[in-house]
Chain A
Amino acid sequence: MKKAIIIIPAYNEEKNIAGVINGIKNVIPDADILVVNDGGEDRTEEIVRGLGEQVISLPYNMGYGVALQTGFKYALKKEYEYAVQIDADGQHDPGDIPKLLDEVFNNKADVIIGSRFLDKGNYRAPFIRRVGMLFFAKLTSLIIGEKITDPTSGYQAINKHGLQFYAGDYYPVDFPDADVIIMLHRAGLKIKEIPVIMYPSVQGKSMHSGLKPVYYIFKMFLSIFVTLLRKAEI
């Protein structure tokens, strides 16, 4: 197997993390797994160490994107050729990892996005959220001239080119989302979607709650707008 690392950003996920790691090991027994503990104060780190997996702990909570980027930086430093990012809350089915990896191994694209809407996905989200997701999916597809159905997906496989971009300073660490895909496209990287299975978050706590959707929509518009203003090469 080619050198790939599975990156799991986790913030206070002591209840789910073991399940996710064991799920991955069931699919790929010799997988290199890295958990990035985002300054959480629960037993996530202990549990991961107990399972014998690598863990990096950020000194304080810095958000999903920063944790993820830490993983990418680590992967580059350790000269991994490929990486898979998967959520720690059990939303993503580890069974899809080989499918995602196969696509990057075969050079189908630099970034493979696991989409919950492509095909017969069984994902159900609140109506407003679905509308927002659909809107940004359409907007992204329009801008990059390629069909994207799930730009919010945090379930991706990337190759070295993708890693280098994700570890750079242009990567929007507060909400890596639709804007990332447009940035990737502008940087000349190839993106491809494949269908995956996603479950509603086990814990029920979502990144998008309270006033956050409003900020999210505003930030996404702004980010996409300034990305388009920048010169194409990054």
Chain B
Amino acid sequence: MPIRQKIFALIAAIALCIFIVEMVRRKKLREEYSWLWLITSLGIIILVIWYDLLVFITRMIGAALPTTTLFVFGLLFLLLIALHYSVKISSLTDQVRNLAQKIAILQSELDERRAENREQKSEVGGQRSEVRELGAESGELRAGSGEKHHESTK
């Protein structure tokens, strides 16, 4: 491997490593996800330093050039990461659905409770006015709007 290639690959791998650790340190990336990326950058560093290993793997998988090996494994790795994300998204979708349903149900119960409370309060307050109402009722009934009036006091 030409020395320029080696230096470039090393710098890229080390930069990736530092970047990931920094992201984890700043809590932008969870440790849970960082290990996959860290292993990749470590793999690149190992392959750069230990070129014979790359040649050995190339021969083992039957590839013609070491570059092919790199591309194949690079693609495989990306594929696995994408799959991992799909799995994660699926479980997140389920969690979001369950949350939304739970919130909606709780919200409706809360509204119900509040309405009940309001009713109770107005009942206590209404008891005093009921006396007045009773007196008024006879007049109301004659006017034929007794039912309407009753509803509005609820």
Contacts and interface: CB of A to CB of B under 8 A. Distances in A.
Question: Do chains A and B stick together as partners?
Answer: yes
A66 B101 contact: yes
Contacts of B104: 36, 56-59, 70
Interface in B66-101: 94, 97, 100-101
Interface size class of B (residues with CB under 8 A): 10 to 19
A58 B101 contact: yes
A171 B126 CA distance: 48
Interface of A: 36, 54-60, 62, 66, 69-70, 73-74, 77, 169, 173
A77 B97 contact: no
Interface in B93-140: 94, 97, 100-105, 107-108, 112
Contacts of A58: 100-101, 104
B25 to A, nearest CB: 34
A74 B105 contact: yes
Contacts of A73: 101-102, 105
A170 B111 CA distance: 30
B67 to A, nearest CB: 38
Contact of B100 (A54, A55, A59): A59
A169 to B, nearest CB: 7
B97 A54 contact: no
For B101, B102, B107, the residue with the greatest tally of chain A CB atoms inside 10 Å of its CB is B101
